[in-house]
Structure 1
Amino acid sequence: MNQHIKGSLSTIILKLLHDNGRMYGYEITQKVKEITQEDIQITEGALYPILHKLEAEEILTAETEKVEGRVRKYYKITPKGNEIAVDRIAELRAFAENLNLILNPKLALQ
């Protein structure tokens, strides 16, 4: 996973949870893969430490549920986390727009 994605991963996770309510880890990885047409693939080794960190910071809550005989851990944004998610999403969106202007200077002249 490249450094740009790594630095944005918590915001990506928060955006998905903000849009979809609650999700479990594998579901998050598959959703990112689907949205990016397999261009971004998040490994469990990258995903779960961030989920646990966000949970420890009370940005997410987790609940386990038995689904088809397997225990699944679902993550959901807390009210505090929702405010943080909105801010981080706006910051990342502004950064991406500015980066696009730098990489494509002709766009800035329009």
Structure 2
Amino acid sequence: MSNNKLYRGSLTTIIMRLLEQEGKMYGYEITQRVKELTNGTMDVKEGALYPSLHKLQSEGHLKVEAEKVENRVRKYYSLTPQGEKEAVNMMQELKEYMENMQAIINPKLSF
């Protein structure tokens, strides 16, 4: 299950959560962390990642810092103060969504 519709619809939330936890990350690092956390079952493609990062940046949720690493410029992404607030909101929305899905999928376990 590498890039189904559910994962693609959650990419922005995944990015925001990782940056909330890690502080700052560069693109390839984000893709590798997702693979690591999902035991390789989720593969974030660059073609999906970078447009999402650019959109979050244009919305004011991310800031970008360029650093020279081994004679290459690497762009690090981190949350702005606005992005930090948005990440909290996204996590709350995700929690509510997961609770609702659980109620639908397995109503006997719902409270």
Could you say whether these structures have the same fold, taking a TM-score greater than 0.5 normalized by the shorter chain as the test? yes
- RMSD between aligned residues: 1.1
C-alpha separation between the residues in 1 aligned to 2:41 and 2:102? Answer: 18
Alpha-carbon shift at residue 100 of structure 1 (Å): 2.1
TM-score with structure 1 length normalisation? 0.93
The residue type paired with residue 26 of structure 1 is Y
The residue type paired with residue 99 of structure 1 is M
Alpha-carbon shift at residue 75 of structure 1 (Å): 0.1
Structure 2 gap segments, 5+ residues each: none
* Aligned pairs, number: 109
Alpha-carbon shift at residue 105 of structure 1 (Å): 2.3
CA contact (8 A) 2:65 2:76 kept: yes
1:21 to 20, 23, 28: 23
Structure 1 residues 2-61: Cα deviation after superposition (integer angstroms, max 9, x where no partner):
111111110110000001000000000111110011111100000000000000111000
1:29-68 alignment, distance < 5 Å:
29-68=31-70
CA contact (8 A) 2:102 2:110 kept: no
Specify the alignment match of 2:77 in structure 1: 75
The residue type paired with residue 23 of structure 1 is M
TM-score with structure 2 length normalisation? 0.93
Q: % of aligned pairs identical?
A: 54
Secondary structure of the residue aligned to 1:75 is: strand
Structure 1 gap segments, 5+ residues each: none
Runs of 4+ more than 2 Å apart: none
